[in-house]
Structure 1
Amino acid sequence: MTIDAPADRPLPAASAERLLAAPILPTLIRLAIPNVIAMVGTAVVAIAETSYIGRLGTEPLAAIALVFPFAMLTQMMSAGAMGGGVSSAVSRALGAGDRTRAEVLALHAIIIGIAAGLVFTLLMLLFGRSLYALLGGRGEVLEQACSYSVVLFSGAVSIWLVNTLASVLRGTGDMVLPSATLLGVAALQIVIGGGLGLGLFGLPRLGMAGVASGQLIAFSLGALFLLVYMASGHGRLTLRVKSFVFQRPMFVDILKFGAMACLSPLQSVLTILIFTKIIASYGVATLAGYGIGSRLEFLLIPIAFAFGVASIPMVGMAIGAGQVARARRVAWIAGAVSALILGLVGLVLAIWPSLWVALFTSDPAVAAAASSYFNWAGPGFAFFGLGVTLYFASQGAAKVGGPVLAATARLLLVAIGGTALITSGAPASALFALVLVAMVVYGLGTAAAIHLTRWVK
């Protein structure tokens, strides 16, 4: 299945030399644009999925709010956390001029992705119902959540493989093919999920299970495509299965930073889960409204992700080549651009929340809850974008401890503050204000960590 091409074949197009010498902002934008386009596809999937789930009823809409944090945890860990560790290891090897090491790292990354996907499948199939019940899911809402979850997480390995292979390619500076693949996956997911969920195109109406089937089938096809592409020798790195030998240092190089980086999305999702549990006590309408609002928060992560992952190979190759000052400049510029974009989105929706809310519901109670969320949390999106992008940049430098601690501070603030507010009988709007404060703490905390941490080759 694999072609063992000559190990000294040079990198085409976006070579290490170009990433090490080109002007920072134009290069960041050039690398980020394919990711932004791919993330637009992801956003369209989320909008479409939420829209046709809304057509299934209020209970399915509330159910997706219970499952969504776990679905995003799978994506965030595989694409952003462990994926960032993979991109960082590959780019640092290429920056140091060691192509062979980068190719060996790629195969070890695939093994990690398969193992992690199996773990997700096992955990969610065994404990999914208990987790959704713990979050406040009851009756038909709980049943709908489980119907969606069982199908979705049966395909966790495919999600991890797509994102792992995409991260390997991004580590070489290739942002186009991973983005094109994700766009294709998104298109398939919309068509298949909508068709099977609502019974369109003559397909059976399977409800929530049908919606989840769209993601399972689309990511399975995406994983197969990337495996065949990289094994064929057409990529900037080749999967050399025939000559593969397990090497513990390769696992360590990826896991010592990737595993720690996984704490950040885990904490982010725990923050959402704790908040979801608190909001669930205010009723189905408020929970559904918060689900609409928090879904956009998760969708803003990919925008920060686009610039964050663009910074990883630039930072990683600069660190590998000993250009530490350039690596730090890349991080700050990427963070500033992300903060500007997310800040503008947040301010617009804080003023006109109906631009987003009206896409998903006409229920007055649900719309009021979602609008209140944007009124309060919207101004904090700039700090959220700053924190997320700097977190990715820190992965390129293999220095993720500080950003992880900033995420811990956000988690504790929401957990302790949220508990205190609900105990005192505070309205839902007070909890949404807490979201704003937590975003500010996260963004400024991550920036402080980057400023104080010494980066070295």
Structure 2
Amino acid sequence: MSPPHNDLQRLLTAPILPTLLRLAAPNVLAMVMTVLVGIAETYYVGRLGTAPLAAMALVFPFAMLTQMMSAGAMGGGVSAAISRALGASDTPRAQTLLLHALVIGVGAGVIYSAIFLTFGPHFYELLGGRGGVLEEAVAYSGILFSGALLVWLINTLASVLRGTGNMRTPSVALVATALLQIILGGVLSLGAGPVPAMGMVGVALGHIIATAAGVLYFLWYLITGQGRLTLHLNSFAMQRGMFADILKVGAIACLSPVQSVLAILIFTGLLAQLGTEALAGYGIGQRLEFLLIPIAFGIGVASVPMVGMAMGSGNVSRARRVAWVAGAVSAFNLGLIGAVVTLAPDVWARLFTQDPAVLGYARQYLVTAGPAFPFFGLGLTLYFASQGAGQVIGPVLAGTVRLVLVAGAGYGLSQHQGTADHFYGLVALAMVLYGLVTAAAVKITPWGSARKD
């Protein structure tokens, strides 16, 4: 049963801030659950020993990349295309885009699996994996990435629903999937009752089973016509223009998470030269950054259908206002967190260590990077809002600027005996630059001829 027409009208005409907050709340909850899954799985693997924990660290950036590309980048392209069609009152086009989005999700999932099942062991070896650690990483990733198709499907289907303005259903489903993954991961990895302990393979299997359940639910929801769009698999004819509508945003947007992961890998490698304590202090701060992303992500994803529908209806001035309001909300929220850890870094740092040396580095990182958090939130949220407008090149180039700065300046510091304080300052500078360049790109990029409300 389709939601009433009034639901779409509210996205086009209702006050921006309360509408945005209403849409963002379930998304933030779903993303926080994703973070909790990561914490739970790290706990399970930690119980298995040091080698499995090190192996997980090798695989984690590429697993994170799968999520970022399928949910945030290509998912944003799917949501944006569907919301623009609905904003233009072209429901048949939105229906057709749904089918093309599924084809893209299937294709991307198969390709991702093929890449990491074939070349994954070489990647882990390049990152320093050796002996038993490398063997654990290959076994774990072999199961995990065989399910990449399911990850792409669940995030594609969730993005379809978000594109219609329905945030509640995908968020509830993703929270349930996350809870199932936490339970299965623990039972299958550590064993319980008649279930034998399967180690890291059990964690990967729990992920695949829970994700498959989520995919089946979304397919049932769409096939039975529970939402505004209904999935019809008969008489489907692929159209180049429909693929282009999604890929002109999604494919370009996929460069952004690749740049983010590369920046993390480069910086981690450079900082490791300063010793274990400095790297551990950075790791504590980085854990906080991973909690900031869901907040900015949740607000940004909520802005996509609001911006897309406004663009589809020709109301470019409202689309731009949505983008700036979303960016300001994200900057404010992350700014509050940054202020807390800047003034009282031990509130966060002592959750993870009591080692005086590591605590010193962690405090140093939080005090240095905390003031830059609002710029990071501004940039990431504007990146999503730009997807709704179909103008994502500027924010992606801002990510390129950040990557070049981290790589170039980081290399320079490593060659001139840079201290941890210098490296941490570089992280903060990269966040500030990313936010400012993204904002400038949104400001100067034409979104079309605005009409008045």
TM range (shorter): over 0.9
- On the 8 A contact 1:28/1:310 being kept in 2, the answer is yes
Distance 1:294 1:86 in 2: 29
Residue pairs, 1:338-353, within 5 angstroms: 338-353=330-345
Task: Verify: 1:117 aligned to 2:109, yes or no.
Answer: yes
Task: Verify: 1:69 aligned to 2:66, yes or no.
Answer: no
Q: Report the Cα offset of residue 368 of structure 1.
A: 5.2
Structure 2: segments with no counterpart, 5+ residues: none
* The 10-residue stretch of structure 1 (160-169 or 55-64) with the greater mean CA deviation from structure 2: 55-64
2:365 corresponds to which residue?
Answer: 373
- On the 8 A contact 2:379/2:434 being kept in 1, the answer is yes
- On the 8 A contact 2:151/2:211 being kept in 1, the answer is yes
SS of the aligned residue for 1:15 comes to: helix
The one-letter amino acid of 2:134's match is L
Distance 1:221 1:260 in 2: 30
Distance 1:138 1:40 in 2: 33
- On the 8 A contact 2:32/2:291 being kept in 1, the answer is no
> Quick one: which of 199, 209, 214 aligns to 2:201?
209
* The 10-residue stretch of structure 1 (125-134 or 333-342) with the greater mean CA deviation from structure 2: 125-134
> Quick one: which of 313, 316, 320 aligns to 1:321?
313
Question: Residues 242 and 405 from structure 1, CA distance in 2 versus in 1: closer, same or farther, beyond 3 angstroms?
Answer: same
> Quick one: which of 78, 83, 96 aligns to 2:75?
83
1:128 corresponds to which residue?
Answer: 120
The alignment's TM-score, normalised by the length of structure 2, stands at 0.93
2:406 corresponds to which residue?
Answer: 414
Task: Verify: 1:175 aligned to 2:167, yes or no.
Answer: yes
Q: Report the Cα offset of residue 365 of structure 1.
A: 5.8
The one-letter amino acid of 2:196's match is P
The one-letter amino acid of 1:454's match is P
CA deviation map 1:410-454 (0-9, x unaligned): 000000111111122223342222111100000111011111111
CA deviation map 1:251-307 (0-9, x unaligned): 011011110111111111111121222234445565555444324323322211111
SS of the aligned residue for 1:67 comes to: helix
The one-letter amino acid of 1:391's match is Y
* The 10-residue stretch of structure 1 (271-280 or 370-379) with the greater mean CA deviation from structure 2: 370-379
CA deviation map 1:179-238 (0-9, x unaligned): 011101110111111222333455333333222222222111111111121111112100
1:266 corresponds to which residue?
Answer: 258
Residue pairs, 1:178-257, within 5 angstroms: 178-200=170-192, 203-257=195-249
> Quick one: which of 422, 427, 430 aligns to 1:435?
427
Distance 1:342 1:259 in 2: 28
Question: Residues 186 and 87 from structure 1, CA distance in 2 versus in 1: closer, same or farther, beyond 3 angstroms?
Answer: same
1:4 corresponds to which residue?
Answer: none
1:137 corresponds to which residue?
Answer: 129
* The 10-residue stretch of structure 1 (198-207 or 410-419) with the greater mean CA deviation from structure 2: 198-207
Identity %: 62
Distance 1:424 1:254 in 2: 45
Question: Residues 124 and 294 from structure 1, CA distance in 2 versus in 1: closer, same or farther, beyond 3 angstroms?
Answer: farther
Distance 1:15 1:243 in 2: 30
* The 10-residue stretch of structure 1 (9-18 or 207-216) with the greater mean CA deviation from structure 2: 9-18
* The 10-residue stretch of structure 1 (94-103 or 268-277) with the greater mean CA deviation from structure 2: 268-277
- On the 8 A contact 1:264/1:404 being kept in 2, the answer is yes
The one-letter amino acid of 2:9's match is E
* The 10-residue stretch of structure 1 (309-318 or 238-247) with the greater mean CA deviation from structure 2: 238-247
Structure 1: segments with no counterpart, 5+ residues: 1-8
- On the 8 A contact 1:15/1:172 being kept in 2, the answer is no
Task: Verify: 1:18 aligned to 2:16, yes or no.
Answer: no
> Quick one: which of 376, 381, 388 aligns to 1:396?
388
* The 10-residue stretch of structure 1 (342-351 or 234-243) with the greater mean CA deviation from structure 2: 342-351
The alignment's TM-score, normalised by the length of structure 1, stands at 0.92
Distance 1:284 1:139 in 2: 21
Distance 1:356 1:133 in 2: 33
Question: Residues 429 and 126 from structure 1, CA distance in 2 versus in 1: closer, same or farther, beyond 3 angstroms?
Answer: farther
* The 10-residue stretch of structure 1 (421-430 or 95-104) with the greater mean CA deviation from structure 2: 421-430
- On the 8 A contact 1:257/1:400 being kept in 2, the answer is yes
Task: Report the RMSD for the aligned CA atoms in angstroms.
Answer: 2.2
- On the 8 A contact 1:62/1:288 being kept in 2, the answer is no
For these two proteins, the number of residue pairs brought into alignment is 449
Task: Verify: 1:454 aligned to 2:450, yes or no.
Answer: no
* The 10-residue stretch of structure 1 (38-47 or 88-97) with the greater mean CA deviation from structure 2: 38-47
- On the 8 A contact 1:88/1:395 being kept in 2, the answer is yes
